Amino acid sequence: MTGERVGLAFLGAGTVGAPTIEETVRLASSENLEIRGVLVRDLSKQRAFDLPVTTDFEQIINDPDVKIVVSLLGDESVEHPYILEALRRGKFVVTANKEIIAKGAPQLFSEAQNHQVGLLFEAAAAGGIQVVDNLINRYSHNTFSSFAGIVNGTTNHMLTEMAKGKDYQTALQEAQEAGFAEPDPTNDVEGYDARYKLSIIASLAFKNYISPDQIHVEGITGLEVGDFEYASRLGYVIKLIAFARKVDGELELWVAPALAPTDHPLAKINGSLNGLFFDANPIGSFTLQGRGAGGGPTASAVLSDILSARDHILNQSTPRAVNLSEPLTVKPFDRVRNRHFIRMVMSEDPGTLSKVSGVLGNCGVGIHAVEQEEDKTDGKVAECVFTTHESEEGQIRAMVEEISRSDISAQVKSVLRILPK
């Protein structure tokens, strides 16, 4: 490619920034890009690239030849004002920060539109899978009815190992040693990372801004080996699912461990892979899968956005505006209906199972089946699993509370949703 070169600058040269910068350096000449500078925290650190570095954001933002700001700092409190300033200065912005997009999408999209520039964030949702571009452009004419996704590679890697019989702590330690989990894994294992991604994907699919605060979230820290054993026996696998479904003009939204039938497309997404399962009209059901995180997939997504921004600048155009105007409300979580998997330990005393079943019935929870393995009892205490018909989450919560405060010798160990086939 020959012609005008487009200047860009990077904010951040860390885990995400460094491989992206290196790949951009490799492609810069052939793709008509000129890297004007890199904002870093430490000027003395040795780096694999030979580019101008600075600790002064003003030096970056005041350069009239910087047309694209690539923000990869990974710190929402610092990065958000930088992105806002870049948009207001009429610069295209590329970011991988899911928290910034999830929390501030309406303001950021408005600033970009008002200043006739683009805010591109492919890497913020599912890395190399390219779901953002698909939802904004290629699938925008579709009406989406549901989405279920595995959007966090760390937890999917851990759950894949736990399905082999490893406990939570062992799976976490091995994931950390392999580089799949951070030293502080809270954002991943508590579901917060997946909640940000669901906020972005659901907002784009259903064309209505969904704040992370509107999404119910549960993590994987309470899962035990017994959950996986029973799930397997019943024909399911356990995955951390980001879920959205439109029912009568209301959106049901949650992130939580759930049982996927073994013939569900997401059941086959293992290790650190991500998988996204959509249902829409007229396209029908479809699945996107691939690596959602890591240096390579993230660099690929960021570079795709950089090249898109370059093309818009050279063509004096702007990306398609993101539509968030559909009239939708978020259904209160207590009214969301799901099938459930409920694992309990209870006394073997005569009548205990009947009493527990009575509590479920009194709370409006219909029992589909009861499962118990012979080796899960010592003659005094038994472990069993109830699978239910569809019930409201509020009914399930009321059932758990009722059992905990009653004199029934039973304890609820886990409550998991069951994905529809």
Closest CA to 167 of 121, 222, 209: 222
143-150 and 236-247 beta bridge pairing: antiparallel
Residues 6+ apart with CB under 8 A from 308: 118, 120, 133, 319
Following CA atoms 300, 304, 310, 314 in sequence, which dihedral angle do they give, to the nearest 10 degrees?
Answer: 140
**Beta-bridge partner residues of 236:** 261
The residue from 197, 207, 239, 246 that is catalytic is 197
Dist. CA 208–CA 71, nearest whole Å: 25
250-261 and 410-418 beta bridge pairing: parallel
The two tokens of residue 120 are 């591109």
The two tokens of residue 255 are 């992130």
Length of the chain: 421
Quick check: helix, strand or coil at residue 367?
A: strand
Query: Are 399 and 358 spatial neighbours (Cβ–Cβ below 8 Å)?
Result: no
**Plot region of 358 (φ>0 → left; ψ -120 to 50 → alpha; else → beta):** alpha
Decide if 67 is catalytic.
no
Task: Report the catalytic residues.
Answer: 197
